[in-house]
Amino acid sequence: MKTVTIIVPFYNEEESVNTFFEHLDKTLNELKEYHFSFICIDDGSTDSTLSTLQQQQNARDMEIVEFSRNFGKESAITAGLDNFSGDVAIIMDSDLQDPPSLIPELLQKLQEGFEVVTATRTDRSQDSFFKRTTAKWFYKAHNSFSDIQIPENVGDFRAMTSQVVQEIRRLRENNRFMKGIFTWVGFKTSTVNYARPEREKGETKWSLSKLWNFAVDGITSFSSLPIKIWTYIGVIIAIISLIYALIIITRTLLFGIDVPGYASILVFILFLGSLQLISIGLIGEYIGRIYMEVKERPIYVVKRIHKKES
């Protein structure tokens, strides 16, 4: 019998924990041909998430990885994958936005020979207009810059074989843009479609600034085009300047000296100045990330692993 390990990050989800397992049990009880185990990560919750999880542990094969503080969802998923030892790993959110009813389909596709099965949100009407549009822009920007193409509207909700997990574990970068990491390792991938439901309980943990950082992380993690492009922009501006200089010289030779425009000079200086600041800023983004990477800090700190007493 194959062991399917479900990896779930929890951050202040006391309201969701019990409903999550209730819904999950309904689906899993139908799937008799697998053994299901859980790796739950308590990502530094400050509410009663941990104790509620411990109560749930009595009823099932489950391990709780308790972090020493909040490290973020990406680190939590990494810890889940690091502790994984089954045949199949399924990653899902704890707020029931990743419907458990999709699990049989995910497993079915793995049976068919796929090594990764993702879930694509076909209907994002539950997300705000702002989140949908910015997400669209992000995918466009990312995929036109990067070496890897991340599929649109695919979240972390996915199933994969233990071989894929092994490979993902080798990527120890601190900037954990999981969508990119998942795609980078490759393997034969299929997807199932679903409409993303609304969050059942609690609130989203994503603020605007977190989303912005996430987007910048995503692009800088898998592309160096944003810093390389300045060479080309510089060359283009140099060519334009040269042509403009030739025009001025010819005009002066033909028509004599003209009083140069104060306004146009100011506009050029400001324009070039801001271009330089943007390019320096972008270099800063990369240097900042290089700095964080060379420190080689661990991706997360585990306070305790709660194994099931048997």
How many H helices and E strands in the chain? 10, 8
**Footprint on this chain of Mg ion (rule: CB under 5 A):** 95, 97, 199
User: What span, in angstroms and rounded, lies between the C-alpha atoms of 118 and 159?
Assistant: 7
With contacts defined by CB under 6 A, name the span among 158-166, 180-188, 201-209, 212-220 that binds ligand UDP: 201-209
Binding-site member from 5, 7, 13, 114 for ligand UDP (CB under 6 A): 13
Binding-site member from 137, 206, 268, 286 for ligand UDP (CB under 6 A): 206
Site string for ligand UDP, 20-59 (x = CB under 6 A): -----------------------x----------------
For Mg ion, give the closer residue by CB, 97 or 189.
97
Binding-site member from 205, 289, 306, 308 for ligand UDP (CB under 6 A): 205
What residues between 77 and 106 interact with ligand UDP by CB under 6 A?
93-95, 97
Tokens, residue 144: 């036109």
Secondary element (H or E) of residue 226? helix 225-255
User: What span, in angstroms and rounded, lies between the C-alpha atoms of 59 and 48?
Assistant: 18
For ligand UDP, give the closer residue by CB, 11 or 21.
11
Q: Smallest gap, in angstroms, from Cβ of residue 307 to Mg ion?
A: 28
CA distances from 167 to 81, 82, 163, 244 (A): 10, 11, 7, 54
Q: Which long-range contacts (CB under 8 A, 24 or more apart) does 282-290 make?
A: 282/226, 282/227, 282/230, 283/227, 285/216, 285/220, 285/226, 286/220, 286/224, 286/226, 286/227, 289/175, 289/220, 289/221
Q: Smallest gap, in angstroms, from Cβ of residue 134 to ligand UDP?
A: 13
Tokens, residue 214: 């996430």
List residues binding ligand UDP (CB under 6 A): 9-11, 13, 43, 70, 72-73, 76, 93-95, 97, 199, 204-206
